[in-house]
Every structure is written in C-alpha cells, then in structure tokens.
A and B are shown apart, each in its own frame.
Chain A
Amino acid sequence: MSAPGKATFLDFEQPIAELEAKIDELRYVQDDSAVDISQEIAQLQKKGQALTKEIYAKLTPWQIAQVARHPQRPYTLDYVRLLFTDFQELHGDRAFADDPSIVGGLARFGGQPVVVIGHQKGRDTKEKIYRNFGMPRPEGYRKALRLMRLAEKFGIPVLTFVDTPGAYPGIGAEERGQSEAIGRNLYAMAELKVPVVVTVIGEGGSGGALAIAVGDVVMMLQYATYSVISPEGCASILWRSADKAPDAAEALGITATRLKTLGLVDRIVTEPPGGAHRDHAAAAHNLKKALQDALRQVSGMGIAELVAARFERLMGYGKFKEEPVE
C-alpha cells in the first residue's frame, strides 16, 4: 500500500518527480497504443528506484527534517491500523478536556494486550486544525499519564509513538500548567512499573516529545528527527535568521544515525526506499519487527530489574569531564 492521494515531492526529490511523471505519461500512452512499451516503463522504474536510493543515501540533516515532516508520512493512527488489532481508543484527562493531538488506548500487538500512546497530526487542513498540528496541550499529556497509570495497574506494556513539532505554546496551555504536565510525565515514566518502548516516527520536537518518550527501549525511524529545539527556532536565536535552519539542523545533530552514535537511541528502524511516506505498509512491517524485538528484550526482565535499568540509563545521559577543583 502506498501513501494516500497523489505523491507530494520535496525540493530535493524533483529528479524523482520528473522521472515518475514520465513513467505516468508512458503508461497513459501504452493504454491506447498497439506498441508494447512495458519494457521501457520497467527500465524507467528501475532507474527511478536507483535514483531514489542515490538521493536518499546522502540526505543532509535538514533534508531529513523535511522527510520527517512529510505531509504523507504515516502518523500514529496509521501505524495503529497497520500494526494492532482490537484498538479501543480511550479519551480525556478527566479534568479538563480530550486533546486530539495525543491519541491513546488499548490494543493487541501480536495478540498481546498493550497500551498505545502517540502524538497525532492531521492529514488535511480540517484535521490538521482538529489535531492542533500534533502540538499537545497539558490535557494531552495528562491523558497520556492516565493511560500509563492504567497500563501499570493492569501490568500491560506501553508503546509510544513520538511525532510532534513540540508542546503547544498557547495562553490556555500555560494557564493550565504545560510545564507541570510535561515534568509530571517525565517523573512518572522514570518509575512506571511496566515496560515502555518508545519509537520516534516523525518529528521529535523537544520537551513536547520527551513527555511521552522516556522508556526502556528508544527507537527511531531512519528519517525521523529528535531535537532539543527545531532547526528554525535554533537558527533564529543563535544565527538570528530562520534561513540558517539547514546549518542549525547540521549543528544540533538531530538525525537517527547521529543520535545512535551519541548513545541516546538504541535502534534505527529502516524505512522503505524513498522514505516511509512512499510505502506505509513496508514502513509498518519494519516497525513491527523492531517492536517485537524490543518487547522480547524487555519482557525477559523482572519489573524491579527493568525499572532499575531504566533509571541507570537515565542517570547515564550526558557528556562531561571531571577535573580536580582548584
């Protein structure tokens, strides 16, 4: 299965777009032509695949950020549909509202009950607004916390999917304690007595991402990004110009490969050629395998051992040196 609707191409994908347009044209010609040009089409398709591979082999961090935000990239509910059965969405924080920019609920993964929590972006304009562009308000984080506690109560593992530009910077969000909601989740996830497997599927935008991303295994899709600040935000502060976002993306080290080297990510989940948006089913297939491995890895451990290991991992974050004090 490919992405819904007509493919959208990013700037650097233009050569691929041109080739695919040519293929489409030939297909159209072939439909009402007596001459068989299927061989030519096949050849062009092969060429297209090679070209895609070539372009994607040397993406810059800024280009990867574009792929991570691709409008046709699979979102949490796409993976829910492709990977889980018996999904029952659960709503609301029991205090203020239901935040549609975070979805969650009970489901089965390979028959095993799990709690799924993820950021959710919208596909069309109407849904984008409904989902607040995947930027949660405090009630979203509090719903996530409620579901984590539910999982803990019934001994069900938690799988989270991270895909947000960041927590929403709004007046109401501040009034209702955006900071507290995020901090509270970090605290709860550090001591949660069930396995937590985190996958960054698209944009890992700062504290708004981290608030559902503390876990026993942290995975990233190949073209996902994870950063302390958006490249644009960083560029406008440190370079005083948002145009320097490509430089900021490079400097911040936001890609899966870089973060794996830094020891902040455990596993990179390979995406289909040309990115997850080109083939949702293939992306889901790879993710399924990675999730199975991760769950197998954590289910072998006792809960006390698991939480202790998670704690040690958290304490190990950071790079510094020690020098005698003068």
Chain B
Amino acid sequence: MSWLTKLLPPKIKRAEGARKTIPEGLWTKCESCDAVLYSTDLEKNASVCPKCGHHARVSARARLDLFLDPEGRFEIGAEVVPVDTLKFRDSKRYPDRLEEAEKATGETDALVVMLGAVKTIPLVAAAFEFDFMGGSMGSVVGERFVRGVRACLEQNLPFVVFSATGGARMQEGLLSLMQMAKTTAALTQLAARRLPFISVLTDPTMGGVSASFAMIGDVVIAEPRALVGFAGPRVIEQTVREKLPEGFQRAEFLLEKGAIDMIVDRRQMRDQIAGLLALLMRVPAAPSA
C-alpha cells in the first residue's frame, strides 16, 4: 500500500473499488470521433457510430446476423478445420496461434458461410472474421468459400461475400497463395450459370484477398472509409519514400478512381443488395402499392 492510499479517506477508496464493478463493455468510445456511446445503442445501430457515422469492425457472425433474414439460416463448411501442414513455427507455433484465435473469436477459422435469405431472396453469404488471425486466407477459408459457391450452384443462388482481411495466411505458405487461384476460379462456375457474385469490401480488405475474388464481383461495394488495397500503406510509403495522398486506399478514393461501383452505409446494406439481386436475378418488380 502506498503512502497516498494510506492517506486517502475510506470514501474515496470505496469509490475507486466501485468503478471496477461496472460491467465491462457497457460503454464504447467511438474510434473516430471519441464519442462515448452505450454499447447497446451502438449495436442496435449496426455498430455504426450514431454521432459521426464511423463503421466499427464487426465479427463475422454479427455481420451475417445483420445481413440475413432471421429465418432459414444454415451454416456451410463449418466441418472444415485447419491443419498445420508446414509445421510452421515463428515466435509461436501455428497450432498455438490457431488455438488463441479460436479462444478469442469462438470461430475455427476466418470465414463463416451461411445459406439464408435477404428480404426473402435466397442466397449464400460469407463473412470474414478479422479477429481470427487478421482475417487471413488459408486452406480452410478457401475451401469454405468453394463450398459456398457449390451450394449456390446446387440451388441456383447468388453469392455475397463480406471481406475483412489482411490477405493470405503466411503460416500456410504457398498453400495460402493458391487459395487466391482456387477461390477466383470457383467464380467462373457462378458466371457460367449466370449467378451473381456481389463483393462487399469492409475495413480492411488487403493483399491476397483484394487481389483475387474481392475486386472482381459483378458488383463491388465498399463500406464508407474502408481501407482497400493490394499493398499496405506502410509498405508503399517505404517503397516510394513519399507521403501518401490524403484518403489513399479508402473507399471514397477507390470510388473516385473507378475501382468500385458504390459505397453503401451498413444500415442500408440489406436493402441495397436485395435491390441489386432482384435486378440481376430478374425478379419481377413488386406490384406498386
């Protein structure tokens, strides 16, 4: 006990202890505008800051929960789980990293795929779990992606993917790089059957994922301010040795450069994608009221 604690009147001490009993996570500070928000309010608002519109990162399951109709969901590919083929070890063993990631996220790998519907349009949707090893794409992500595509082919469904990833997973070496070829190749089958693939780029979508299926959707959507690019900003800065332009690699920058079709607020994502799919799938227009 320090001399200061000893000097403090008992009341103040209590107050200090009481602060610790406030349930964790009741309040959240917006990363962008520093506004202090009720966590439940933020959650109700699709994790978009009601003050400044900042789109906070959401988990894969929360994402799909926001996006899909509540009824008729069915997970695809959960049976596919990672193995340590290379016996990869840096400062930690790959299996240990996997275990940590699983503990932190409750997921067995970085992609969750679900059969479901959006405003009654049936589809398959997939979302990256960024907190699982930076949403990195290894063999399991690739295989789950392909199983999602296969479900689309079997049932004539469109495919929607929400990316949030640093790129390929180094711990699986070249096997990870090949997932770029695998996932992208699978899209050729969707195209052959005229089934739409909509790619949604969320913060961040980088490296091996952006340089494979993510940028070649029939429609490419980004969330506001999402960082999207091939190389990370730091790598580019070190290579070209100049300061990067303001807003470089952000969704707004990509829209201006012609790289994406549109920026959509998360709170309008369901409506927007349902509308696009209805058009692409040539669903007859709803009779006007």
Contacts and interface: CB of A to CB of B under 8 A. Distances in A.
Interface of A: 167-171, 173-180, 182-184, 186-187, 189-191, 206-207, 210-211, 214, 226-229, 234, 237-240, 247-248, 251-254, 259, 262, 264, 311, 314-315, 317-325
A251 to B, nearest CB: 5
B116 interface: no
Q: What are the nearest 10 A-B pairs in CB distance?
A: A169-B231, A318-B139, A190-B185, A238-B90, A317-B178, A180-B215, A179-B210, A178-B230, A182-B211, A186-B184
Contacts of B208: 206-207, 228
Interface in B205-222: 207-208, 210-216
B229 interface: yes
Contact of A320 (B140, B213, B232): B140
Interface of B: 75, 78-83, 85-86, 88-91, 138-140, 142-143, 146, 168-170, 172-182, 184-189, 207-208, 210-216, 228-232, 235-236, 239-240, 242, 244-245, 248-249, 257-259
A305 B173 CA distance: 30
B48 to A, nearest CB: 26
Contact of B181 (A214, A229, A238, A262): A214
A254 B174 contact: yes
11 contacts: A171-B242, A173-B230, A179-B210, A180-B216, A182-B211, A227-B173, A247-B90, A311-B185, A311-B189, A317-B182, A320-B80
Given A229-B170, A320-B140, A183 B214 contact: yes
Given A171-B248, A210-B181, A234-B170, A253 B86 contact: yes
B230 A167 contact: yes
Contacts of B83: 319-321
Nearest to A228: B177
A177 B79 contact: no
Nearest to B243: A171
Contacts of B91: 238-240
B26 to A, nearest CB: 31
Given A173-B231, A228-B208, 11 more contacts: A169-B232, A179-B228, A182-B230, A184-B215, A186-B180, A228-B174, A237-B170, A240-B91, A251-B86, A318-B143, A321-B82
B88 A251 contact: yes
A262 B81 contact: no
B262 to A, nearest CB: 16
A261 B85 CA distance: 11
A190 B188 contact: yes
Residue of B80, B242, B248 most packed against chain A (CB within 10 A): B80
A160 to B, nearest CB: 13
Contacts of A190: 181, 184-185, 188
A234 B212 CA distance: 20
Nearest to A247: B90
A180 B259 contact: yes
B2 to A, nearest CB: 35
A179 B82 CA distance: 26
A315 B185 contact: yes
Residue of B75, B168, B184, B213 most packed against chain A (CB within 10 A): B184
Contact of B187 (A187, A234, A240, A324): A187
B174 A175 contact: no
Contact of A207 (B82, B89, B180): B180
B211 A179 contact: yes
B263 to A, nearest CB: 17
A81 B259 CA distance: 38
A238 B245 CA distance: 28
A259 B142 CA distance: 19
B3 to A, nearest CB: 40
Nearest to B228: A179
Contacts of B179: 317-318
A186 B173 CA distance: 18
B164 to A, nearest CB: 15
A320 B240 contact: no
Nearest to B234: A169
Nearest to B235: A169
A252 B168 CA distance: 13
Contacts of A240: 91
A218 B179 CA distance: 16
